[in-house]
Structure formats: structure tokens, C-alpha cells
Structure 1
Amino acid sequence: MLSCLSARETTFIKDEIIFSYGETITGIGIVLEGSVHIVKEDFWGNANLMAECVPGDIFGEAYAINSTEPLEMNIFAASTCRVLFLEVSKILTVCPSACAFHNRLIRNLLTLVSRKNFQLNRKLEHMSKRTTREKLLSYLSMESKKANASTFTIPFNRQQLADYLSVDRSAMSNELCKLRDAGILEFNKKTFTIFEKND
């Protein structure tokens, strides 16, 4: 099936560019190992971390389907990673044997696209908050619910978290300290504990 889809597997080292701004692409990437960051920069070089892709996630699908549309972001390896690339034209064209594997692949890819849409909706929810404090609390509350625990570890370092929430890192660090001093949360590097509010 993989040969039918012109699949190729590539390993990238940390910080290596996978797809760059302005490039046109015809294939989607599926993360097999490691993690991939999708980052959009403005004219002045301010970064917005659009998404982190972990094993099982896909990226580049919207641009691969609309292959004349140039990328408006950079996609790079956040850690050493392995990525499987599939040509969209081969995915959307059922092979002559109409194999069950191909049909299953299309169903699985639609599931992944749906999951990615949920992730973007969650980010939009955080971004809709007006202040850095509200954005932090929205994000940390959701991570706590995902972990089903008041103590949890997030995937981002401080700069990545600031980029993800589109806030200034210094202002965010100050806000985290204020939240800690107010007894709302504690943190150690990427591990956070949030506390219930006392009435």
C-alpha cells in the first residue's frame, strides 16, 4: 500500500526545517516519532506557535490539497523526529484494486483532520481571552482536564508556551509568578499544579 501512495520516510534532526514559508507542497506529513512545530512569523520576526504535532498527528494537509497555495508558516522538527510523507493525489485517487487498506487510510486521515480541528478550536478558545492571565488559566485548566489531574506536565517550555498563546514571554512569566503568589498554582519547569479556588 505504501508504494501505491508513493510514501517516503524521512528523519529530521532538532530544529531542521521540514517545509518553509513560501514553499508549495503536494504531500502530507505523518509524525511517527518525535515532535514537529508549526510556526508563523510576522514581518518583525515575532513567532506564533500554531501547533505541536506528536506521533500520530498530520501536518501540511490543507496546503497539499491546495497545492498552488504557498505555505504561510515554517514547519520544523522540535526534536529529532521521523516523518512519513504521502502524496495527496495518490490518497485521493483510489488505486485500481480499490483495496480495503486504501479505504481505511482515507477514513483514518479524516479522523486525524477532525482531531486537528478540535486542537485548533481549543487554541482559538485560549486566544479569545483578553489578558495574558486569562489565556494562561484557560490553557492550564484544559491541560488539567486532559490529564484528569491537578498536577500535570505540559509539552512546551516557557518561550514555546508564550508563542503558543501569542503573549510576551516576560509578561507571561510575571503573570505565572503572580498566580503562584496568589495560591492559584505552583510550577516547576513544565510541571504545573493548579488549586481549587477557596470561596
Structure 2
Amino acid sequence: MWLPQQRKAGPMGAVPPQAMRGDRMPVEQTRTPGPGWRADELFAGLTSGQFSCVRSCLRAEVVDIERHDRVLQRTSVPSMIGVLIAGTALDTQIREDGSTSLVDVVEVGDLFGDGWDSLSEGTNRAIVAASPGRAILLDSHRLIHGDSGCSVRPVVVENFLRCVMKKHHRLREHFDLVTRRSLRERLSSFLLGAAERNGYRQFTIPISRAELASFLNADRTAVSRELARMRDESLISFHRNSFALHDLIRPGNNGHSEATAARSGPGYATRPGKTSRHSEQAQSVQPTCRQSRLGG
């Protein structure tokens, strides 16, 4: 059984100096990733016996994380990359004035930290946990330039390239999203993409309203105002981070709706103290909906 090293990530504002360089933090104990972990894309094709090679050849370690922990940070030359095996994290860019912008939402099975070595000098990036979870960190230098005699490394490198291509496609979708002209178009594309990836007309997103605004390159107040308008028009229902789509139209499709009509179903309840001419549709969603991958 694979027994990678494990450490505990530190809270925001308390990052050890070696983590500021993208290096790993001190190791506290050793344990397995745990049941239900899903780093299968990166380690596809490996037997359980070969996982022991990952620890020695690629210096793999498992990190338990809590909300707001900085899992990895880059200020100079990084040497670590990671894959999330539980929870949700945010790939953020930190500006000189301390403000941040959201580059990507990292979910289970996603890579992070890859490509940081190609960033310009002085660019500061950090992976911040949005929820409790767990990640596996690997030495990127050993992954690319490791021992040629290691039987595990070529398989992981091939899987790594596939994961990078998948991430590139996701970032391209994000670019297409934020370049849409209006905030209504960005919100509609985001919500429809989340519903399609989830496979359900009701879902929960793993980020806050402020983080959603940053992801859409918009002001938080403007996002809240536009969501309220969409709710009043009976296009969507929402309760905090839980959403349901009613008659939402994908932007750019000449007015043809691609959304599902969610007029009834489990998880719905009438909004207390409010009725409208579309009361059958304008219902709030209880915060028990399934979480979805972001996209648009």
C-alpha cells in the first residue's frame, strides 16, 4: 500500500519560507491518501505496488488542508506541483498591493502549480483551500528530469501531459467566459456550464459570491444585483451558493434556450413571503444540492 509523506498546510499569512518558494513544508507524519481519493488521472495505469515508487522517485506527500490554508505558493522558482484529491481550492494571483484575482477553481483530480516556472519574475501565485480537503504534492523537477531507470515516472509523465491539456482546455473556457460582453452573458454561461457538468438542473457551487465575482472579472455588488434580476425574471432560483435553472438561455445562440425547465423536483420550496406571476418557477433552492464542477 502506498504510504506517502503527509504534512499539514499552514493558514493564510503563516506560510513557511520554503513554501513561499513553492517547496514542500516540513513533514509531520505518514499515512495513505484515504478512501475515495481520485487522483486516478495522474496515476492511471499504475498498480498498487507501484505507488511505493511514487514516494521515493517523485517525493510524493499527502497534505491535509483546511479552509483558507495556502497549499502552495510561488514567489520565485517553484519545485512542487500538486493534484487535489479532496475538497476545493482556488488558484489566485497576488498583486503587489496585496489584492488577489481568481485564476482557476481547482477541484478533485485537478492539477495545480504546473507552469509556474514559466511565469515572469515577481509574479506571485498561491493555491488557497476553499474547503477542507487533501492534496498530493510532487517534485516537478524529479517528474521531468528524474531517474531514467524509474519504471513509474514515464507513466506519470504521460498522464501528466494529458492532465495539462485538460487544464488548458478548462482555462480556455474561462477566458471565453470572462471576455463575454455583458455580466448577464457571463453569469448565464457560467451557470449553464455548471449545470451541464453536474448533469442536474440544480447544483451548488463551491465558491463564495465574492469569489464568483472575481472568477467572472466583475464587481461583487454587480453580480448580486444581476443574480437578483435573473431570479425576479424567473430565469433562476438560488439560495446562497445553491442554484436551480428554469428558463435560462445560453448567450450567442440566437435566442434558443438550452437550459432545462426546472419547474418542480426535489430540493425546491416556495420562497417565504413572496409570490409572483411565475410562482411555480420562482422557488428557492435548499442548500442540499449536489456540488458541481465549474465551467461555462
TM-score interval, smaller chain: 0.7 to 0.9
Q: Residue 179 of structure 1: CA displacement?
A: 0.7
Q: Does 1:163 align with 2:214?
A: yes
**More relative contact order in 1 or in 2 (CA 8 Å, sep 6+)?**
1
Give the structure 1 partner of residue 106 of structure 2.
53
1:92 corresponds in structure 2 to 144
* Residues 1:184 and 1:67: Cα distance change in structure 2 (over 3 Å): closer
Compute the TM-score of the two structures, normalised by the length of structure 2: 0.60
> What is the CA–CA distance in structure 2 between the aligned matches of 1:133 and 1:171, rounded to whole Å?
10
SS of 1:167's equivalent in the other structure is coil
Distance apart, 1:27 and its partner CA: 1.4
TM-score normalised over the length of structure 1: 0.86
Say whether the 8 Å CA contact 2:177–2:216 is kept in structure 1. Answer: yes
Partner residue, 1:130: 181
| Higher alpha-carbon Rg | 2
Distance 2:183 2:134 in 1: 34
- After superposition, the C-alpha distances for 1:90-118 in whole angstroms (9 at most, x for unaligned) are 1113534341x322211211121111112
1:28 to 44, 63, 81: 81
Partner amino acid, structure 2, of 1:75? I
Tell whether the 8 Å contact from 1:12 to 1:81 is kept in structure 2 after alignment: yes
Report what 1:72 is aligned to: 124
Looking at structure 1, the residues matched to 76 and 66 of structure 2 have their Cα atoms a distance apart, in angstroms, of 20
11-20 or 123-132: which moved more? 11-20
Amino acid at match of 2:167: K
Query: What displacement does 1:24 show?
Result: 2.6
Distance in structure 1 (CA, Å) of the matches to 2:148 and 2:225:
60
Give the C-alpha shift of residue 123 in structure 1. Answer: 0.8
Task: Give the paired residue count.
Answer: 197
Change (3 A) 1:150 1:139: same
Q: State whether residues 39 and 48 of structure 1, in contact with CA within 8 Å, keep that contact through their aligned partners in structure 2.
A: yes
Partner of 1:152: 203
Shift of 1:44: 5.0
Which shows bigger deviation, 160-169 or 149-158?
149-158
RMSD, matched Cα: 2.4
Shift of residue 180 of structure 1? 0.8
Q: Deviation string for 1:1-52 (max 9, x for gaps)?
A: 2201122223233212233352431111122222221112445554321112
Residue 184 of structure 1: aligned partner: 235
Do 2:236 and 2:247's aligned partners in 1 also have CA atoms closer than 8 Å? Answer: no
The change in CA–CA distance for 1:86 and 1:69 in structure 2 (over 3 A counts) is: farther
Q: In structure 2, give the amino acid aligned to 1:128.
A: T
For structure 1, which segment, 104-113 or 89-98, has the greater mean C-alpha deviation from structure 2 after superposition? 89-98
Partner of 1:11: 64
In structure 2, the gaps of 5 or more residues are: 1-52, 250-254, 256-296
Contact 2:57–2:146, Cα closer than 8 Å, also in 1 = no
Alpha-carbon contact 2:130-2:206 (below 8 Å) kept: no
Amino acid at match of 2:139: E
Q: Percent identity?
A: 25
Q: Could you say which structure has the higher helix fraction? A: 1
For structure 1, the residue ranges without an aligned partner over 5 or more in a row are none
Contact in 1 for aligned 2:66/2:129 (Cα 8 Å): yes
